[in-house]
Amino acid sequence: MEKKYINNNSTISLIVGILSILVPLFGFFLGVIGIVISRKAIKEIERNNEDGRGFAISGLFCSIIGIILQFFGIVGIIAYYSLTTTKVITF
């Protein structure tokens, strides 16, 4: 039985996907990069009959979750500063 190799891009997509969840603000861009790499990995796995499809799908899932969390974080920061600004009234 021939040993199948795990696709390198699938491992990278999983790492970048996890980082997109953990790294504040910059995680949004990591999520986009993770989606691109995981889609590329899935296509390579199908074409070359390699292992690592689970890593690539997990990386895609983590990247999407990371983008959603970062989006809500950015919206929350904007909402916080827009609602807590104080106006100074001068006479």
Q: What are phi and psi of 90, to 5 degrees?
A: -110, 140
* Per-residue pLDDT, 1: 59
Terminal C-alpha separation, the chain: 86
With vertex at residue 13, the alpha carbon angle to CA 7 and CA 28, rounded to the nearest 5 degrees, is: 170
Q: pLDDT 10s digit of each residue in the chain, 91 long? A: 576 889 999 999 999 999 999 998 899 999 999 999 999 999 999 999 999 999 999 999 999 999 999 999 999 999 998 888 766 677 7
* Per-residue pLDDT, 4: 80
- Single pTM value for the model: 0.85
* Per-residue pLDDT, 84: 83
